[in-house]
Structure 1
Amino acid sequence: MQVIDRKDNPLLNRVEIRFAWDHPNSPTPDLSQMVAAAAKAEPGAKEDLVFIKDVSTRFGMPRTTGLALIYSSEEASSIEPNFIVKRHNRVRGEESSAEGGDE
């Protein structure tokens, strides 16, 4: 993963990283791989406070671009929309017990 742009956002207590990931001869990286790489790119970041957005892979090109939002605390990350949090929790293996429903 290559960091294209890093912006510190003190108002929202987060770091915003624009990234590009070249993946020749391999499939598009999944969300868990992108979260791990973004956490590794920012010193002191915790994977559970990293959220990936705006992921795009152009047809025929082995290059994926996106935006990683890295929050400094659980409280700061509470501004993320619920559907984004649920998507990342599924990838991390943390199912919320509030959803309910036996299948």
Structure 2
Amino acid sequence: MEIRLVDQRPNPLLHRQELRFEVAHATAPTPGREEVRAEIAKQVGVAKDRVVVERMQARFGTATTVGEAMVYESTDIARRTEREHILIRNKLKEKPGAAPPAESAPPAPPAKEA
């Protein structure tokens, strides 16, 4: 997987860099958001939790995916600025009502009648 940054624009009002990227994945399937976030963070030189992948679109008939990502000044700014469903997709926020199931005690054995 090779990521090429096509465009990079600063957005000082929202405290972020807006990136457009192209992923070449000739020998592999379309990469997931986590892989793309990690690679963009490495290229830009920031922590992965500051990168938010807005969208990814595979080009028909090619082994290329294009997309947009935002690199925020801090994770806190990203959480305040981005829409909730985008944060959930990028694993920066838990899905509401999707808390891990609590460990419950095994059911009590039935009482025997005497």
Shorter-normalised TM-score: what interval? 0.7 to 0.9
**One-letter identity of the residue aligned with 1:28:** T
1:17 Cα deviation (Å)? 1.0
Residue 39 of structure 1 and its aligned partner are, at CA, apart by: 0.5
> Greater CA radius of gyration, 1 or 2?
2
Identity %: 30
**Number of aligned pairs?**
98
- Give the structure 2 partner of residue 53 of structure 1: 54
Q: Give the aligned partner of residue 18 of structure 1.
A: 20
Taking the aligned partners of 1:62 and 1:53, their CA distance within structure 2 comes to 20
Structure with the bigger RCO (C-alpha within 8 Å, sep 6+) is 1
Contact 2:58 2:65 in 1 (8 A): yes
Query: Which runs of 5 or more structure 1 residues have no equivalent in the other structure?
Result: none
SS at match of 2:75: coil
In structure 2, the gaps of 5 or more residues are 103-114
1:62 aligns with 2:50: no
Question: By how many angstroms is 1:102 displaced?
Answer: 3.6
TM-score by length of 2: 0.76
Cα RMSD for the two superposed structures: 2.2
Q: Structure 1 residue 96: deviation in Å?
A: 3.4
TM-score (norm 1): 0.83
